[in-house]
Amino acid sequence: MPAVRLMLNPMRTAQQGVNVNIGKDGDEYKEITTTLSVHEEDMAALGVEDGAEVVVRTEHGEADFVCKTAKVPQGLVFVPYGPPTCQLMGGDTDGTGMPTSKGWDVEIIPRSELDS
């Protein structure tokens, strides 16, 4: 199955915010920040089911995530901010002082494709 290109929108969630204050080394925080919310048709295009591991790549880096079917717009994927999203972010701020952190064109590859 070929890689699929989608648009990634990292976001803040209440659950992520509470857990960042508890600690970024906890299992719950790691699970929250590595769960990628994906439309069911995009999951089918990827050839994966809930719980499948994928690699997300940008021009700046890559990180591992776990897919979860969600009620999100087709073509868009969402994940709470965390260390994995930082691996995908470039350093250019376009003069704002904050790197671009939304609307990334990403390549998503099932981990099974890379491991075979």
Domain ranges of the chain: 4-115
Q: Return the sign of the alpha-carbon dihedral for residues 6, 42, 16, 52.
A: negative
Side chain identity at residue 1, one-letter code: M
Over residues 47-78, the pLDDT tens digits come to: 999 999 999 999 999 999 999 999 999 999 99
Q: Which CATH architecture has domain 4-115?
A: Beta Barrel (2.40)
Over residues 1-33, the pLDDT tens digits come to: 668 899 998 877 656 655 565 666 778 888 889
CA dist., res. 77 & res. 103, Å (int): 10
